[in-house]
C-alpha cells in the first residue's frame, strides 16, 4: 500500500531548490511513504513515568529529536503545545502524540518541559533504539511523521515548522480531507465543522456541504453514517464525480431538549480507508 505524502511540504521545499535538492526530496518521499514505524516494546513518559500506549490510536503524530545542536530549540515545545491543544479540539478521532528524544543530559529536558509547561508524552531513547533502526532525514522539519492505525507513514513534515503542514495535518485528522488507499485520489468536504447557532425545539436547519474530487475517476459513496436519526446528508447520485465539486445537503431537525448539541456524520467512500467527517454544533433554545 502506498501513501501520498503532504504535497505542500514538497512544494515548499522544492520550489527554490536546485536539481540535486529536488532529487533528494524525491528520494525521501520514496523512502518513507507507507513505511511502518516500529517503536520500542515499552516506552515510558519521561515526565510521569507512565507507559506510552499507541496501540489503539487512529492517528499518531511522532516526532524525533536528536542530540545534535540546540535540543531545546529543535523541540519547540510551546509551538507543539499550541498545535496539539488545537488538534484535541477539532477531532473526535483518537490522536496520540509522542516525542522521542535522543539526549544524554536529561537535566536540560526537565528544565525545558517545566519552563514551557509541556505535558504531552516524551520518551527518552537512552538506548538509541530509534537512531539505530532508522536513518532520519537531516532536515529537522522532516523528522515528524503522521502515522495511521497500523503505524505506517501517511505524511512526513513538521506542523510546527510550516503553516501549510499544520493545515494539512488538521484536515486529515479532522476528516475534512481523505486519501484513497492507493494515494491516487483525495476528496475534501467543505465545511466539515458547522455551527448552526441557536435553534428552536424541532426546528429544521439545512447547510450546503461541497465535496471536491480533483481525481480522474468518480468516487462512489459506500455508506453515510449519522450519529442520530435527526441528521441527514444527501449526496446527489450517490457518488462524487471526477474533476468537479458536488453540492450535498445536510439537514438537521432540532432536538427537544434545551442546551448545546453536537452531531457527527461519517461519509465512507469506496477504496478509502478513512471516512470524511462532518461535525455539526448548535444550541437548542426555548
For residue 242, pLDDT over 50 is answered with: yes
Instruction: Note the Cα 199 to chain centre separation in Å.
Output: 31
Q: State whether residue 62 is helix, strand or coil.
A: strand
This prediction has a pTM of 0.81
Confidence of residue 23 (pLDDT cuts 50, 70, 90): low
What is the predicted pLDDT for the residue at 5? Answer: 42
262 grid coordinates: 453536537
Residue 165: CB atoms within 10 Å: 22
pLDDT digits (tens, 9 = 90+) for 146-159: 998 889 888 888 99
* Alpha carbon distances (Å) from 268 to 110, 130, 228: 44, 35, 16
pLDDT digits (tens, 9 = 90+) for 160-211: 998 888 988 999 999 998 888 776 788 999 999 999 999 998 899 999 999 9
Structural domains in the chain plus CATH codes: 7-174 (3.40.30.10), 186-284 (2.60.40.10)
CA distance 58 to 24: 30
**Residue carrying the nine cell digits 529537522:** 140
Q: Which H/E stretch holds residue 213?
A: strand 204-213
Average pLDDT over every residue of 225-254: 91
Amino acid at each position: 500500500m502506498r501513501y501520498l505524502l503532504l504535497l505542500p511540504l514538497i512544494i515548499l521545499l522544492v520550489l527554490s531548490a536546485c536539481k540535486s535538492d529536488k532529487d533528494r526530496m524525491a528520494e525521501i518521499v520514496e523512502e518513507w511513504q507507507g513505511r511502518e514505524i516500529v517503536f520500542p516494546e515499552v516506552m515510558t513518559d519521561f515526565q510521569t513515568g507512565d507507559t506510552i500506549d499507541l496501540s489503539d490510536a487512529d492517528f499518531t503524530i511522532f516526532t524525533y529529536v536528536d542530540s545534535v545542536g540546540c535540543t531545546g530549540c529543535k523541540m519547540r515545545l510551546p509551538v507543539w503545545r499550541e498545535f496539539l491543544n488545537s488538534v484535541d479540539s477539532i477531532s473526535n478521532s483518537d490522536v496520540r502524540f509522542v516525542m522521542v528524544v535522543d539526549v544524554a543530559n536529561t537535566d536540560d529536558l526537565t528544565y525545558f518541559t517545566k519552563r514551557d509547561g509541556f505535558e504531552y508524552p516524551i520518551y527518552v531513547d537512552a538506548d538509541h533504539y530509534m537512531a539505530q533502526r532508522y536513518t532520519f532525514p537531516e532536515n529537522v522539519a522532516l523528522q515528524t511523521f503522521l502515522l495511521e492505525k497500523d503505524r505506517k507513514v501517511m505524511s512526513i513534515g513538521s506542523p510546527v515548522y510550516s503553516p501549510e503542514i499544520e493545515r494539512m495535518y488538521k484536515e486529515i485528522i479532522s476528516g475534512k480531507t481523505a486519501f484513497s488507499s492507493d494515494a491516487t485520489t483525495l476528496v475534501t468536504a467543505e465545511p466539515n465543522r458547522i455551527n448552526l447557532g441557536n435553534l428552536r425545539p424541532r426546528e429544521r436547519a439545512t447547510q450546503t456541504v461541497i465535496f471536491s474530487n480533483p481525481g480522474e475517476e468518480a468516487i462512489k459513496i459506500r455508506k453515510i453514517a449519522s450519529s442520530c436519526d435527526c441528521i441527514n446528508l444527501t449526496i446527489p447520485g450517490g457518488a462524487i464525480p471526477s474533476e468537479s465539486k458536488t453540492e450535498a445537503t445536510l439537514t438537521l431537525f432540532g432536538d427537544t431538549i434545551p442546551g448545546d448539541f453536537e452531531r457527527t456524520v461519517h461519509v465512507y467512500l469506496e477504496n478509502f480507508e478513512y471516512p470524511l467527517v462532518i461535525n455539526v454544533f448548535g444550541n437548542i433554545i426555548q
